[in-house]
């Protein structure tokens, strides 16, 4: 049985109003989006408040009536689940999937991971609900490794929580996005999954209310593109 571990992740959820814009965003966007939001809030009266979590959890909240103006998912599945609520949608970003280890470690062969793990845990976001976990499971299935690795998987509510397990030494290896690894100095990338081992990693963004239109448009502007690129994302739009 796959073990599930939940780690608290800060969610800044605030009711939408005329004075603020609420954005729901995949946890892997936090470092880059925090910078974009800081620039926005420094020059606008209508403040942007961001709630970060796994894309599946955010999609479910939107479907249940949570007040969000903009939604950025880490895959199309959860964006499609909210399609009835969107006014406009774009493919915003792409990313890469990697294996990380704590500290400075030498590269490994992906196929050696079951042996290297032994009885230790592999940190992954929820493999049936969070895009990073779904991509990771698909990649291991591509290599024929999933059945061997599954008993060792420690699942977390979002990809940043999986990253934290590795950074804190709670798990020797984890599966995260390349941008997550770049944001955490206490881990190193030891392997990259080839693009053909999993579905394309695409971050779609949706405008859910007219209240969020100006910020939604900002996400495709030159300043946002620069910040996303500096954080390792590939800008698609």
Q: List residues forming the annotated binding site for molybdate.
A: 28, 55, 132, 159, 177
In terms of Cα–Cα distance, which of 130, 132, 186, 126 is closest to 156? 126
Cβ proximity of 205 and 219 under 8 Å: yes
Cβ proximity of 24 and 70 under 8 Å: yes
Cβ proximity of 237 and 92 under 8 Å: yes
**Pairing mode, if any, of strands 122-125 and 173-177?**
parallel
CA distance 105 to 234: 26
Query: Which positions make up the binding site?
Result: 28, 55, 132, 159, 177
């Amino acid at each position: 049985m796959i073990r599930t571990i939940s780690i608290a992740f800060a969610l800044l959820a605030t009711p939408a109003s005329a004075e603020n814009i609420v954005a729901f965003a995949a946890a892997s966007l936090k470092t880059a989006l925090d910078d974009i939001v800081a620039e926005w809030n420094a020059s606008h009266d209508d403040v942007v408040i961001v709630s970060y979590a796994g894309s599946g959890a955010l999609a479910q909240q939107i479907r249940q009536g949570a007040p969000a103006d903009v939604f950025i998912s880490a895959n199309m599945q959860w964006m499609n689940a909210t399609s009835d609520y969107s006014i406009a949608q774009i493919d915003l970003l792409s990313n890469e999937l990697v294996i990380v280890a704590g500290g400075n470690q030498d590269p490994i062969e992906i196929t050696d991971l079951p042996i290297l793990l032994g009885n230790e845990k592999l940190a992954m976001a929820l493999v049936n609900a969070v895009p990073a976990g779904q991509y990771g499971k698909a990649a291991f299935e591509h290599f024929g490794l999933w059945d061997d690795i599954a008993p060792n998987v420690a699942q977390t509510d979002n990809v940043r929580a999986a990253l934290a397990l590795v950074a804190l030494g709670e798990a020797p290896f984890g599966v995260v996005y390349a941008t997550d690894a770049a944001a955490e100095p206490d881990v190193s990338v030891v392997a990259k999954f080839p693009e053909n081992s999993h579905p394309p990693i695409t971050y779609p963004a949706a405008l859910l209310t007219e209240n969020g239109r100006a910020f939604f448009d900002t996400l495709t502007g030159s300043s946002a593109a620069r910040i996303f690129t500096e954080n390792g994302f590939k800008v698609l739009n």
